[in-house]
Structure 1
Amino acid sequence: MHSPIRQRGVTLIELVVSIVILSVATAGIMMVMTQTTLSSADPMIREQATAIAQSYMEEILTQPLLNPGGGEVNGPEVGEIRSTYDDVWDYNGLTNNAGALDQNGNAVPNLQGYNIAVLVSSATIGTGAGSPAVRIIVTVTYDGLAGINVPVTAYRLN
């Protein structure tokens, strides 16, 4: 009598099916890795925008609240440039659309795509009459990514 021979291994159909399943799984993993790699610059750009906004805010907050020479206006006095700003209100309406600039107007290397806007407005802190103050908002956006919009807000009391 013949004893049946047991076949070991896999058939060609089973091999092809397993290769197709592995290929689909690998393609899915590669798509996730590609998407992660493409968006990995976002956190760095957002962190840089935050640092720029905080740097501008620090510069503004070191200035006196009111014009030392008197005759306050809600913006820079005639002929004033950023390096000669002498009070917080001088920064009202400041915009830098060519990238981050230092206080003397020099471009900061590798920060060309950032846009900075400053808004200074009157505010009252506390209830009732409260204390007169100003609210300063520094907003930084980035040309390359629409979702990057970093506002930093501070209040300055006299």
Structure 2
Amino acid sequence: MSARRRGRGFTLIELIVFIVVISVGVVGLLSVLGVFVRQSADPLARKQALAIAEAVLEEIAQSGFGYCVATDPNYLSATGTADCTTVDAVGPEAGEVRPYDHVNDYVTAFGTATAFPVSGFPGAAIPGPAGYAASVTMTQTPLNGTLAADSILVSVTVAGGGETVVLDSWRLRHSPNVLP
């Protein structure tokens, strides 16, 4: 009798338990996949904001950081503002267009965010999709315990597409400002 019973297959209860166990496993797997898909469904907006922020920060990093305006004859050799005919002030000089020749030309005042056009401006355009806005903030920071214009924290903020990206970089002034 036991040999005949083994050859008959599964009972209805065993089949129902098997279907329930498999269903619970599939539902659990699909719910985990759903969480991953929801959280990484559109990384494009974050990647675009990051690309814009990196481009802005790179443009600023390539500008000079001396004591004098770039047209000053002592621009490369000045070891302080006393060596300058014309000291470089915060904000761009009259008629100057991007890319600027000096780091602090990218802001209108230290510690205040300055809007940075993402596209459609004269000079060197940083192409960007519509709906993204960038701003630059520069803060003079203490160097060896004293507040000096020789070290600046540059913060670039880009918002758009539901994402906000902030990149920070330090600029330190070297004197004399020697060309590579």
TM-score, normalised to structure 1's length?
0.69
- Give the whole-Å Cα distance in 1 for the aligned partners of 2:122 and 2:153: 21
Residues 96 and 12 of structure 1, relative CA distance in 2, 3 Å threshold: farther
Structure 1 residue ranges without an equivalent (≥5): none
Identify which range, 50-59 or 65-74, moves more after superposition: 65-74
Deviation at 1:105, TM superposition (A): 6.6
2:114 to 94, 108, 112: 94
Q: What runs of 5+ residues in structure 2 fail to find an aligned partner?
A: 72-85, 108-112, 175-180
Structure 2 residue matching 1:16: 3-state secondary structure: helix
Count, aligned residues:
150
- Separation of aligned partners in 1, 2:30 and 2:145: 57
Which position in structure 1 is the counterpart of 2:135? 117
Segments of 4+ moved more than 6 angstroms = none
After TM superposition, give the deviation of residue 153 of structure 1 in Å.
Answer: 2.0
SS in 2 for 1:6: helix
Alignment RMSD: 3.4
Structure with the bigger RCO (C-alpha within 8 Å, sep 6+) is 2
Q: TM-score of the superposition, structure 2-length normalised?
A: 0.62
Shift in Å, 1:63: 1.7
1:22-62 per-residue CA deviation (whole Å, 9 max, x = no partner) reads: 11211111121122123225655545433332221121122
Q: Identity rate of aligned residues, in percent?
A: 31
Letter of the 1:108 partner, please give it.
P
